[in-house]
Amino acid sequence: MIITAPDEFNVPDLFIDVTGLLGMRAFLKCEQMNFAGSVKLKAARAMVTRAEEEGLLFPGMTLVESSSGNLGVALSLVAAARGYGFVCVTDSRCNAATIRLMTTLGAQVEVVTRPHPEHGLLGARLERVAELLRARPGHVWLNQYRNPANPGAHEMTTGPEILAAFPDVTTVFIGVGTAGTVMGCSAHLRAHAPGVRIVGIDSVGSVTFGAPAGVRHIPGLGAGVVPAQFRSAALDDHWNVPEADTVRMCRQLADRGFLFGGSTGTVLAGARAWLAEHPEARRGLCVAIAPDGGERYLDTLYDDSWVVERYGPHDDSEDTAWSSTRPTAGVLLPAGR
């Protein structure tokens, strides 16, 4: 394969067998195998292309977007490849490695530290985007929260990729952040495999599923404002995951050599908890989407001091220990399709 731009490369069909982890035929769709390192490259490329086709973007112009991290990296990459400036408005939860990566790719990064009184850090980020647009008329906001190219990218790619690999899938677990991935996949699955059950996974402290807002430390999933493009009818069920469970899951995966990010840990922890409440679903086959890798979380999720400071010290019970040195039996056992 020969490419001329970094956004042209993405691995569409890499799955990990996680049957031993979830107790049923289960596969994790890896979306980090591209130069941006996450599923957000699909949305970034689609939104920029749409803006170009609509005559909103020309070489030399500057993009502005709010992001907790992964989309910011993806847009930094696409902007650099296509000759645009890029200003990413993020917040204090964004990993230092992610900020460094964006600036290395030429982006300007603004970090919001004071939450909006009603809508948290996301609300504060959106306020700052609005301020930048007023002050800099030549800048263009792609608005991932309302841009139809965001879910459209997954309706055209991620959803079909799941069905192509596993036409007999019965349940799909998808993390909900801006809701682009879940809305796009749902649109395709509803049209082509209406019997598939779609379960949205989010973090405790997020308001998307109607729960009260709370403190969240891990970027990626979750929102202080219900995403404009989210439609609850697109889901058959949903589950909120405590961040401590996200950390445990990430470290269990690392024990088996798989380094994933917080969003992936949340999705798998949610899938395991949901299946415990719905044992009848284990008779089928499930696919969970892994949005990101774990390299950018080495100083957070995989750092004992960071974890203890936010979630408390571990004890000797297997359910609450943070250490990733203990073997975790049955996490990932080989199993045929």
Q: Is 170 in the same domain as 24?
A: yes
Give yes or no: residues 134 and 226 share one domain.
no
Cα–Cα distance, 149 to 318 (Å, whole number) = 43
Phi-psi region of 264 (alpha: psi -120 to 50; beta: other; left: phi over 0): alpha
Burial of 156 (0-12, 13-18, 19+ CB in 10 A): middle
- Write the burial class of residue 313 (CB in 10 Å: 0-12 exposed, 13-18 middle, 19+ buried): exposed
| Residue 293 is assigned to a structural domain of this protein | yes
* 160 shares a domain with 305: yes
Are 137 and 152 in a shared domain? no
For residue 110, is it within any domain? yes
- Of the three residues 141, 162, 185, the one that is the final residue of a domain is 141
**Domain boundary pick from 108, 123, 141:** 141
Could you tell me if 22 and 163 lie in one domain? yes
113: containing domain: 40-141
In a domain, residue 158? The reply is yes
What are 309-334's pLDDT values in tens digits? 888 886 444 443 434 444 433 333 22
Any residues with CB less than 8 A from the CB of 242 and at least 6 apart, and which?
Answer: 203, 204
For residues 28 and 288, the answer to whether their CB atoms sit within 8 Å is yes
pLDDT of residue 328: 39
| Same-domain check for residues 106 and 169 | no
* Strand 171-175 with 62-66, pairing: unpaired
Of 141, 174, 196, the residue that ends a domain is 141
**108 is a domain residue:** yes
Pairwise CA distance, residues 334 & 219, whole Å: 31
In a shared domain, residues 63 and 202: no
Tens digits of per-residue pLDDT, 146-188? 999 999 999 999 999 999 999 999 999 999 988 999 999 999 9
Q: 50 pLDDT band (50/70/90 cuts)?
A: very high
Q: Tell me, what CATH number does 285's domain have?
A: 3.40.50.1100
What is this structure's pTM?
0.88
Is residue 29 located within the same domain as residue 61?
Answer: no
Q: How many domains does the chain have?
A: 2
Q: What does the pLDDT look like over 16-33, one tens digit per residue?
A: 999 999 999 999 999 999
How far apart, in whole angstroms, are the C-alpha atoms of residue 239 and residue 201?
A: 5
Residue 327 covered by a domain? no
Q: For a pLDDT cut of 90, what percent of the chain falls above it? A: 66
Give the pLDDT confidence of 59-109 residue by residue, as tens digits.
Answer: 889 999 999 889 999 999 999 999 999 999 998 888 888 999 999 999 999
Q: Is residue 332 part of a domain?
A: no
- The reply to whether 1 falls in a domain is no
Mark whether 123 and 189 lie in a shared domain: no
Does residue 21 sit in the same domain as residue 65? no
Q: What is the pLDDT of residue 188?
A: 97
Which residues face 172 on adjacent strands? 198, 287
Is the domain of 110 the same as that of 247? no
Whether 331 is covered by a domain: the verdict is no
Residues 157 and 24 in one domain: yes
